[in-house]
């Protein structure tokens, strides 16, 4: 689905200084060797990296709620059992990629007589790993596996890329120990990998539901949020338990245009009271990103809506949320590409950019619409790009994106988050991003002579400063 590699550059050669006549006379027997590219000199390993779009905790050990991943709906959600290295590997991303390739670890476990893969691993680790070794090796070059491998090795020590039982057992023990105090682990790991901050997309329920007071306080000690408006776009059905629950939270039952406006205001006020940085949506996974402005009279508010009526209803909701985000000076994160490719082009987002100039739009992912996202970021002052998830799909996607964008869009328009389900995956993505960013900046420096200090400043902007300048980072309450 995406491309990215991680390479290092070779040491440079030196041109001979032989006088021209001597060089000419001996050229046939001693040709001057071609100049090798110079060694990559830009060290970005300790620069801070602000994680502006992450899903840490979307793993099986923390589990699901009726509305989605528990980590997105419950402040301070902690694991319900010891966390295994397999919780990180068989996550929604890499676990999903295995499924796309035809491997179902749960089915393999049940065929072996175990209730699930984790139980199988705990009782017969050699047998469980043996059954997954070949499918894992088939994915060994993918961005998702390399991010996990690098992140686990950096934060815990063992290299699971050798596919040896002892390394996996050591990683399993280390992960279980670390996650026994999950929010202390996140804080310690963030310091080790030089993560300077975190923004999590959360559902509205996150602001009223907590695990315990202590766990909620621990998570909010380092976590900022951005509120997902996706749930609001699916409340039109005549019977909607989630609409009823959110109406109770908001104190408003949405029935018509005015009550819907009041309902959205109350939900966004709740998010604002808890320090949100803005709103977020992932409609690119299910419909086109062309959100037309709809007058109230066109909308059917609930019931058995046709496909066209659902689109109109969703358009109305998105514009009302954007109007309020514009008035509040909030950021709007929007998924672009990666799925639903026939309908997820970002070009229609210029409708929102023009109508709501005080709402900064951050296009997430961008692949494969690199040129389109670059053009929008260049043309509109309130449109930005976050490369999150590119390394996890394929490191070369990030390389291609930088090669296309750095010579075209203003430097303050680009951010490098990770969109990872675990801090280990994010750590690996960050390591890969830093390597590739160093490589591409060095190439630009060779061509146009950028001083090293300026390169460091540019890298710091991409990894950290652009995000901290863009998002309103009041501390979550």
pLDDT single digits (tens) 106-147: 999 999 999 999 999 999 999 999 999 999 999 999 999 999
SS3 430: helix
Express each pLDDT in 199-254 by its tens digit: 999 999 999 999 999 999 999 999 999 999 999 999 999 899 999 999 999 999 99
Cα(291)–Cα(450) distance, integer angstroms:
41
Cα(176)–Cα(85) distance, integer angstroms:
8
**Mean pLDDT of the region 13-28:** 30
C-alpha torsion sign, points 261, 267, 268, 270: positive
Model confidence band, residue 28 (pLDDT cutoffs 50, 70, 90): very low
446 pLDDT above the threshold of 90:
no
Q: Which residue has the tokens 């930005």?
A: 384
| Residues above pLDDT 70, as percent of the chain | 91
431 pLDDT above the threshold of 90:
yes
Express each pLDDT in 208-217 by its tens digit: 999 999 999 9
Q: Give which of 427, 429, 415 is closest to 193, Cα–Cα.
A: 427
Give me the helices (H) in 345-422, please.
Answer: 350-355, 370-379, 390-393, 395-405
Model confidence band, residue 6 (pLDDT cutoffs 50, 70, 90): very low
**Mean pLDDT of the region 163-183:** 98
Q: Give residue 404's pLDDT.
A: 96
Cβ-in-10-Å burial (0-12, 13-18, 19+) of 248 comes to exposed
With b for 16 or more beta-carbon neighbours within 10 A and e for fewer, the 80-100 pattern comes to eebbbbbbbbbbebbbebbee
SS3 210: strand
5 pLDDT above the threshold of 90:
no
**Mean pLDDT of the region 283-303:** 92
Residue 161 tokens, joined: 């890329």
Cα(186)–Cα(366) distance, integer angstroms:
28
C-beta separation of 411 from 388 below 8 A? no
3 pLDDT above the threshold of 70:
no
464 pLDDT above the threshold of 90:
yes
SS3 70: helix
C-alpha torsion sign, points 162, 163, 164, 167: positive
Phi, psi of 211 (to 5 degrees): -65, -75
Average pLDDT score, the chain = 90
Q: Give residue 477's pLDDT.
A: 44
322 pLDDT above the threshold of 70:
yes
Cα(307)–Cα(284) distance, integer angstroms:
16
Cβ-in-10-Å burial (0-12, 13-18, 19+) of 125 comes to middle
Cα(204)–Cα(232) distance, integer angstroms:
9
Model confidence band, residue 39 (pLDDT cutoffs 50, 70, 90): low
Express each pLDDT in 55-71 by its tens digit: 999 999 999 999 999 99
Residues whose CB is less than 8 angstroms from the CB of residue 70 and which lie 6 or more positions away in sequence, other chains included? 57, 62, 63, 64, 77
17 pLDDT above the threshold of 60:
no
Q: Give residue 452's pLDDT.
A: 79
Strands (E), 52-180: 64-65, 68-69
Give the distance, in angstroms, between the CA of residue 240 and the centroid of all CA atoms in the same chain: 30
| Residues above pLDDT 90, as percent of the chain | 83
Q: Is the peptide bond before 368 cis (omega within 30 degrees of 0)?
A: yes
Model confidence band, residue 40 (pLDDT cutoffs 50, 70, 90): low
Q: Give residue 37's pLDDT.
A: 44
Model confidence band, residue 475 (pLDDT cutoffs 50, 70, 90): low
11 pLDDT above the threshold of 80:
no
Cβ-in-10-Å burial (0-12, 13-18, 19+) of 258 comes to exposed
422 pLDDT above the threshold of 90:
yes
Q: Give residue 41's pLDDT.
A: 67
* DSSP 8-state secondary structure symbol assigned to residue 462: I
Residues whose CB is less than 8 angstroms from the CB of residue 329 and which lie 6 or more positions away in sequence, other chains included? 358, 359, 472
Residue 390 tokens, joined: 């590119």
25 pLDDT above the threshold of 90:
no
* Integer angstrom CA distances of residue 335 from 55, 419, 472: 14, 11, 20
**Mean pLDDT of the region 341-364:** 95
Beta-carbon count within 10 A of 68 CB: 17
């Amino acid at each position: 689905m995406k491309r990215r590699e991680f390479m290092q550059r070779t040491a440079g050669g030196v041109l001979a200084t032989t006088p021209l006549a001597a060089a000419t006379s001996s050229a046939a027997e001693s040709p001057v060797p071609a100049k090798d590219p110079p060694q990559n000199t830009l060290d970005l390993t300790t620069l801070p990296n602000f994680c502006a779009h992450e899903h840490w905790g979307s793993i099986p050990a923390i589990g699901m709620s009726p509305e989605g991943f528990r980590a997105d709906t419950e402040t301070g959600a902690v694991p319900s059992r010891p966390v295994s290295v397999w919780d990180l590997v068989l996550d929604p991303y890499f676990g999903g990629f295995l499924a796309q390739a035809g491997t179902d670890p749960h089915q393999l476990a049940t065929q072996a007589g175990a209730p699930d893969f984790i139980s199988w691993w705990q009782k017969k680790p050699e047998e469980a790993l043996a059954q997954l070794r070949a499918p894992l090796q088939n994915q060994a070059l993918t961005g998702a596996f390399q991010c996990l491998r690098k992140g686990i090795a950096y934060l815990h020590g063992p290299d699971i890329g050798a596919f040896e039982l002892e390394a996996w057992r050591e990683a399993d023990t280390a992960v279980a120990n670390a996650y026994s105090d999950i929010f202390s682990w996140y804080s310690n790991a963030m310091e080790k990998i030089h993560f300077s901050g975190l923004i999590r997309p959360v559902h509205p329920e996150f602001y009223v539901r907590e695990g315990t007071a202590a766990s909620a306080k621990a998570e909010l000690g380092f976590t900022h949020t951005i509120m997902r408006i996706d749930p609001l776009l699916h409340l039109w059905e005549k019977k909607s338990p989630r609409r009823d629950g959110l109406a109770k939270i908001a104190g408003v039952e949405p029935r018509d245009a005015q009550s819907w406006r009041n309902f959205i205001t109350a939900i966004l006020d709740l998010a604002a009271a808890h320090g949100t940085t803005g709103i977020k949506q992932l409609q690119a996974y299910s419909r086109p990103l062309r959100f037309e402005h709809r007058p109230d009279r066109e909308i059917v508010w609930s019931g058995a809506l046709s496909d066209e009526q659902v689109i109109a209803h969703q358009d109305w909701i998105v514009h009302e949320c954007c109007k309020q985000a514009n008035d509040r000076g909030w950021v709007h994160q929007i998924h672009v590409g990666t799925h639903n490719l026939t309908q997820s082009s970002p070009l229609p987002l210029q409708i929102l950019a023009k109508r709501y100039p005080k709402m900064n739009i951050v296009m997430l992912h961008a692949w494969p619409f690199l040129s389109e996202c670059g053009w929008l970021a260049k043309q509109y002052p309130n449109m930005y790009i976050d490369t999150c998830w590119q390394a996890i799909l394929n490191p070369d996607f990030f390389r291609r994106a930088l090669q296309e964008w750095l010579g075209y869009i203003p430097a303050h328009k680009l951010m490098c988050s990770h969109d990872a389900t675990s801090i280990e995956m994010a750590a690996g993505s960050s390591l890969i991003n830093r390597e590739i960013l160093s490589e591409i900046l060095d190439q630009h420096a060779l061509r146009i002579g950028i001083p090293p200090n300026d390169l460091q400043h540019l890298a710091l902007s991409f990894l950290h400063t652009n995000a901290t300048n863009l998002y309103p980072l009041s501390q979550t309450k």
